[in-house]
Chains A and B, each alone.
Chain A
Amino acid sequence: MSTPAELLRLRGIRKVFGAVVANDSVDFELAAGEVHALVGENGAGKTTLMRVLFGLHRPDAGQIEIDGAPANLSSPARAIGHGIGMVHQHFMLVPSFTVAENVTLGIEPGRHGRYHRAEAEQRTREVMARLELDLDPGAVTGNLTVATQQKVEILKVLYRGARILILDEPTAVLTPQETRELFALLRALAAGGTGVVFISHKLPEVFALADRITVLRRGRTVLSGRTAELSTEAVVTAMTGRSDVHLGRVVRPRLAGPVPAGAVPAGADPAGAVVLRVDRLSTEAAGADCPLAEVSLSVRAGEIVGVAGVDGNGQTSLAESLVGLAVVRGGSIQLNGAEITTHSVRKRRDRGLGFVPEDRHLQGLPLHGSVAEGLAAGRVRRLGGPRSLSAALPRALRDWARATVRGYRIDPPDIQARCQALSGGNQQKIVLARELEDAPSCLVLAQPSRGVDIGAIEYLYGKVAEATGRGCAVLLISADLDEIFRLADRVVVLFKGRAVAELDTATATRDEVGGHMMGVAA
């Protein structure tokens, strides 16, 4: 039935959570020596399928065969026993341990409870030799770059004898150069007979790496075939169920031409004057992010300026200090020519600053509140003093919220729905709707497409483009270079809290930006 080279075959997998069918008769095959990409939007069921494969979920129906024989994967331990290894999106490494300690963790060489360091390092070197990697097994993992940590994660899985390697969104944290290195490594692994499952929603990468592509939508397999026989358009259509989605540069209405009266917020010059000016801004560290050191940048009306960088190089500090949530140590922030460096969040927003935070659940929305409550914040902010006792959500506001929900095609179209129950894309629409309905003169967009499905991303980009057409200045902080190249006019690269480069997206290449992201001038 199955060819000898077939490592893995999933048939008719079904998994139901309450009323949600996460997987429904999903088929998936993996041959030795191939890279099989599993793509689909958020909530399409990729992660569920892989968790079934890794023994974290028990399927409600369906069969799993490994090497042609039915396998019972009731726990991760059993999955590992069958040679399945998983590299999670969030690394499972102990930062204070050495590479060898992390790689051998749980099955350390040694006797009588003693850890045998030399042997552990020797065995780690043996695994590294298979990958032609050259790391110091004694190096402390926390000191390594993210890309290297990811390699340690792969080493860890291989050390446990994995023949089936699952990688969940492995490139999300990598620069273009690092991504290429990872791909070379995965190709080498596949050449050695390992089967690789590559989960991603970045299609260019999928087409660059995979031998086969399987697309999931709403828990079902909608497309599966050899990469050579598939087109990007076909895959996008299969993912979204729509044929009008394109992945090229977002078309923006230019500022030229008559600007409708009232469309341009007070203070914003439609001719493209500087709206946001950041001058030698230094900050305290915001959370785990590194502080900013003398960052200068400016955004003109109608312009989108991208801020690129590997996560943790000051993006969060920049966003939070611009909106007034982080402590500024030096430098200045000007909005429409007025100094706002010491203003409260409220004053900055009253002056026309909009903010789409990177952490939607913590800062973007009242997760336990209703959609109406999530939309109303802008209006409620402006009601102070004696009006504190007036109704927060009067009929007029509810009508407005209902119209907004319809206008932004938020699903479900119910202003009483809990924000928590909405998909990432619909949650982000609420956040963006609230900010844009305030008609800001400057919008800080932090990681706007994180956890948002492709269809919704297109819609959000369109709305942002519309806003720039009205003269809104947009600062797009993103770890996703594709996003920056699709939207931004210029890109500023952050590295260790410094703005190390400023490039024109029309002339710059991804590699050039990537080089700056890693701190090496290209």
Chain B
Amino acid sequence: MTGTDRAAAPPTEDSAGRPKLPTLIGAACRSCFAVVLAVVLALVLIRLRGFAPVPTMLAGLSYAVGDLPSVARTLAWGLPLLVAALGVAQGFRGGMFNIGAEGQVYLGALAAAVVGAYVGPLLSGLHLLLCLAAAALAGGAIAGGLGWLRAHWGVDEVLSTLLSNYLLILLCAYLANGPLRDPTRQSGSTRTVHDTAMFPVILPRTELTAGLFLVVGLAGFAWWLSERSVAGYRWRMTGASPGFAAAVGFDVARGRIACMAVSGALCGLGGALLVMTSQGRFWTEIGTGIGWDAVLLALVGRARPVGVILWAAGYCVMRASARGVEQATGIPAELSSVLIAVIIIAAAARNGMFALATDRLRRWGAPLAGSGR
């Protein structure tokens, strides 16, 4: 899975082709290391603000996952983010750095909101499907188009997707303030969608909707696609060893475009979920930061679907806890942003730090072992 695991890979074969257990444990240990670092920092920061660290943290945690409604709220908030993060990860696996997730989330949200409000009311299932399709198509077309530019004209997708964020967000803002504006509202919002375009709530008195099932399905699909399928194999080879992919006869350009399109479609679906599970309309601040968080999660999760899901879950708990801490103490919820930054730096450095630590241990251990012999 990672550089350090490879060198010491024991030749024990897993017949199902799954990563070996020690690799998973190793990865988990390194991830825990990053989290522990962040928690310690959080405790220190809370202490510095003059609060008792541990009780404050526990209060925050109980706000995030203390009871069923809390869990439902945290989960509901995280679903769109997870879908977008899986989308970005899909692109990363194919060697395409789609950092235009934010723009694709906005466009997907707008597309879903428009189809939800201007088409229908229809049969609920059909309407949901149409809205989702519109969002996936919008996000996929943008990302796929940028992938085409990369594959055929060599336009660096990092640059093009980054810049596309500004174009798309501003375009959506213009549309929501202009042609698509809801005349009954003050500004910056489209019409409320029909009820048939909203996912039904599955847990009464919470925000948790049937969108959960869609997300579970999408997560399974994303995992199969990138880790197990023929298409995913081609994309991974194209991403990690483009020379190899070309030499064995894969269409590198097509792989790049296709994996970008899927990546964008998932980001668009993330945007659609924002509209269809909670907001019920598009407004200019709807997805603030979700796309960027998705990029970070895909990075920290090393673009593996399982890793991304775990990190997304942890991130949601952290965000919700920070909100809880804010309510209890007035420490701004931006604390979570600081902690995320620490985790990302620690996670990015964890291989290096870990290698350093084990190397030190070995060096100290060697003379002792030698004298004992």
- Please give the residue numbers on chain A whose beta carbons come within 8 Å of chain B beta carbons, in ascending order: 18-19, 323, 325, 344-346, 348-350, 355, 357, 359, 362-369, 372-373, 376-378, 380-381, 383, 387-393, 398, 412-418, 420-421, 434
Closest residue of chain A to B14, judged by CB?
A416
In the assembled complex, the CB of B239 is this many whole angstroms from the nearest CB of chain A, namely 10
Supply 30 A–B pairs (Cβ within 8 Å), ascending by A. Answer: A344-B251, A345-B247, A348-B249, A349-B248, A355-B247, A359-B243, A362-B241, A363-B243, A364-B244, A365-B241, A366-B240, A367-B241, A368-B240, A369-B236, A377-B237, A377-B248, A377-B249, A380-B234, A383-B230, A388-B230, A388-B231, A391-B228, A391-B230, A392-B229, A392-B230, A393-B228, A413-B11, A416-B13, A421-B7, A421-B9
In the assembled complex, the CB of B43 is this many whole angstroms from the nearest CB of chain A, namely 36
Task: Tell me which of B13, B241, B247 contacts A325 (CB under 8 A).
Answer: B247
* Residue B50 at the chain A interface, CB threshold 8 Å: no
Report B-chain residues with C-beta under 8 Å of the C-beta of A323.
247
Report B-chain residues with C-beta under 8 Å of the C-beta of A376.
233
In the assembled complex, the CB of A345 is this many whole angstroms from the nearest CB of chain B, namely 4
How far is A376 from B17 in the complex, measured between Cα atoms in Å?
Answer: 13
How far is A124 from B131 in the complex, measured between Cα atoms in Å?
Answer: 78
* Residue B186 at the chain A interface, CB threshold 8 Å: no
Would you list which residues of chain B between 204 and 243 have a CB under 8 Å from chain A? 224-225, 228-234, 236-237, 240-241, 243
Closest residue of chain B to A420, judged by CB?
B6
How far is A363 from B240 in the complex, measured between Cα atoms in Å?
Answer: 11
Task: Tell me which of B14, B233, B246, B248 contacts A392 (CB under 8 A).
Answer: B233
How far is A228 from B232 in the complex, measured between Cα atoms in Å?
Answer: 59
Would you list which residues of chain B between 40 and 88 have a CB under 8 Å from chain A? none
Would you list which residues of chain B between 1 and 39 have a CB under 8 Å from chain A? 6-9, 11-15, 17, 20
How far is A363 from B237 in the complex, measured between Cα atoms in Å?
Answer: 11
How far is A18 from B237 in the complex, measured between Cα atoms in Å?
Answer: 29
In the assembled complex, the CB of A271 is this many whole angstroms from the nearest CB of chain B, namely 29
How far is A50 from B340 in the complex, measured between Cα atoms in Å?
Answer: 47
Report B-chain residues with C-beta under 8 Å of the C-beta of A392.
228-230, 232-233
How far is A325 from B248 in the complex, measured between Cα atoms in Å?
Answer: 10
How far is A413 from B11 in the complex, measured between Cα atoms in Å?
Answer: 8
- Count class of interface residues, chain B: 20 to 34
How far is A99 from B233 in the complex, measured between Cα atoms in Å?
Answer: 50
B247 near A363 with CB under 8 A, answer yes
- The list of the 4 closest CB pairs from A to B, nearest first, reads A392-B233, A346-B249, A377-B248, A362-B243
B247 near A388 with CB under 8 A, answer no
B247 near A381 with CB under 8 A, answer no
Task: Tell me which of B225, B233, B246 contacts A363 (CB under 8 A).
Answer: B246
B250 near A414 with CB under 8 A, answer no
How far is A417 from B14 in the complex, measured between Cα atoms in Å?
Answer: 11
How far is A393 from B227 in the complex, measured between Cα atoms in Å?
Answer: 10
B225 near A389 with CB under 8 A, answer yes
How far is A415 from B17 in the complex, measured between Cα atoms in Å?
Answer: 9
Report B-chain residues with C-beta under 8 Å of the C-beta of A367.
240-241, 244
Centre residue among A18, A416, A417 by max chain B CB count within 10 A: A416
Task: Tell me which of B9, B236, B244, B248 contacts A417 (CB under 8 A).
Answer: B9
A398 near B17 with CB under 8 A, answer yes
- B244-259, CB under 8 A of A: which get 1 and which 0? 1011111100000000
How far is A387 from B229 in the complex, measured between Cα atoms in Å?
Answer: 9
Report A-chain residues with C-beta under 8 Å of the C-beta of B233.
373, 376, 380, 392-393
Contacts A383-B230, A398-B15 given; does A19 touch B243 at CB 8 Å:
no
Report A-chain residues with C-beta under 8 Å of the C-beta of B225.
389
Given A346-B251, A368-B241, 5 other A-B residues pairs in contact with their CB atoms under 8 A = A365-B241, A380-B233, A392-B233, A393-B17, A434-B248
Report B-chain residues with C-beta under 8 Å of the C-beta of A348.
249
Task: Tell me which of A359, A364, A378, A416 contacts B20 (CB under 8 A).
Answer: A416
B13 near A357 with CB under 8 A, answer no
How far is A412 from B244 in the complex, measured between Cα atoms in Å?
Answer: 22
Closest residue of chain A to B252, judged by CB?
A345
Report B-chain residues with C-beta under 8 Å of the C-beta of A364.
244, 247
Report B-chain residues with C-beta under 8 Å of the C-beta of A434.
248
B11 near A388 with CB under 8 A, answer no
How far is A393 from B243 in the complex, measured between Cα atoms in Å?
Answer: 21
Contacts A359-B243, A362-B243, A369-B241 given; does A381 touch B249 at CB 8 Å:
yes
A390 near B230 with CB under 8 A, answer yes
How far is A46 from B247 in the complex, measured between Cα atoms in Å?
Answer: 32
In the assembled complex, the CB of B343 is this many whole angstroms from the nearest CB of chain A, namely 25
In the assembled complex, the CB of B251 is this many whole angstroms from the nearest CB of chain A, namely 7
B17 near A381 with CB under 8 A, answer no
How far is A210 from B253 in the complex, measured between Cα atoms in Å?
Answer: 52
Report A-chain residues with C-beta under 8 Å of the C-beta of B251.
344, 346
Report B-chain residues with C-beta under 8 Å of the C-beta of A363.
243-244, 246-247
A389 near B231 with CB under 8 A, answer yes
Report A-chain residues with C-beta under 8 Å of the C-beta of B250.
346, 377, 380-381
How far is A132 from B240 in the complex, measured between Cα atoms in Å?
Answer: 51
How far is A414 from B15 in the complex, measured between Cα atoms in Å?
Answer: 10
In the assembled complex, the CB of B18 is this many whole angstroms from the nearest CB of chain A, namely 9
Closest residue of chain B to A412, judged by CB?
B11
In the assembled complex, the CB of A393 is this many whole angstroms from the nearest CB of chain B, namely 6
B249 near A416 with CB under 8 A, answer no
B244 near A366 with CB under 8 A, answer yes
How far is A367 from B225 in the complex, measured between Cα atoms in Å?
Answer: 21
Task: Tell me which of B6, B229, B237, B249 contacts A366 (CB under 8 A).
Answer: B237
How far is A355 from B247 in the complex, measured between Cα atoms in Å?
Answer: 8
How far is A389 from B12 in the complex, measured between Cα atoms in Å?
Answer: 28
Report A-chain residues with C-beta under 8 Å of the C-beta of B244.
362-367, 377
How far is A376 from B250 in the complex, measured between Cα atoms in Å?
Answer: 12
How far is A368 from B9 in the complex, measured between Cα atoms in Å?
Answer: 13
A378 near B13 with CB under 8 A, answer no
Report B-chain residues with C-beta under 8 Å of the C-beta of A398.
15, 17
B246 near A414 with CB under 8 A, answer no
Would you list which residues of chain B between 251 and 297 have a CB under 8 Å from chain A? 251
How far is A129 from B168 in the complex, measured between Cα atoms in Å?
Answer: 71
A369 near B237 with CB under 8 A, answer yes
How far is A366 from B8 in the complex, measured between Cα atoms in Å?
Answer: 19
How far is A36 from B11 in the complex, measured between Cα atoms in Å?
Answer: 39
How far is A372 from B237 in the complex, measured between Cα atoms in Å?
Answer: 13
A381 near B246 with CB under 8 A, answer no
Task: Tell me which of B7, B240, B243 contacts A369 (CB under 8 A).
Answer: B240
How far is A417 from B11 in the complex, measured between Cα atoms in Å?
Answer: 7
A357 near B247 with CB under 8 A, answer yes
Report A-chain residues with C-beta under 8 Å of the C-beta of B13.
414-416
Report B-chain residues with C-beta under 8 Å of the C-beta of A373.
233, 237
Contacts A364-B247, A365-B244 given; does A418 touch B230 at CB 8 Å:
no
Closest residue of chain A to B362, judged by CB?
A18
How far is A366 from B240 in the complex, measured between Cα atoms in Å?
Answer: 7
How far is A413 from B13 in the complex, measured between Cα atoms in Å?
Answer: 9
A349 near B9 with CB under 8 A, answer no
How far is A378 from B245 in the complex, measured between Cα atoms in Å?
Answer: 11
Report A-chain residues with C-beta under 8 Å of the C-beta of B12.
414
In the assembled complex, the CB of A40 is this many whole angstroms from the nearest CB of chain B, namely 23
Report A-chain residues with C-beta under 8 Å of the C-beta of B224.
389
How far is A54 from B244 in the complex, measured between Cα atoms in Å?
Answer: 36
Closest residue of chain B to A349, judged by CB?
B249
How far is A367 from B243 in the complex, measured between Cα atoms in Å?
Answer: 11
How far is A350 from B251 in the complex, measured between Cα atoms in Å?
Answer: 14
How far is A366 from B236 in the complex, measured between Cα atoms in Å?
Answer: 9
- B111-124, CB under 8 A of A: which get 1 and which 0? 00000000000000
In the assembled complex, the CB of A321 is this many whole angstroms from the nearest CB of chain B, namely 13
In the assembled complex, the CB of B98 is this many whole angstroms from the nearest CB of chain A, namely 20
Closest residue of chain A to B248, judged by CB?
A377
Contacts A368-B240, A398-B15 given; does A387 touch B230 at CB 8 Å:
yes
In the assembled complex, the CB of B85 is this many whole angstroms from the nearest CB of chain A, namely 22
Task: Tell me which of B6, B15, B229, B241 contacts A421 (CB under 8 A).
Answer: B6
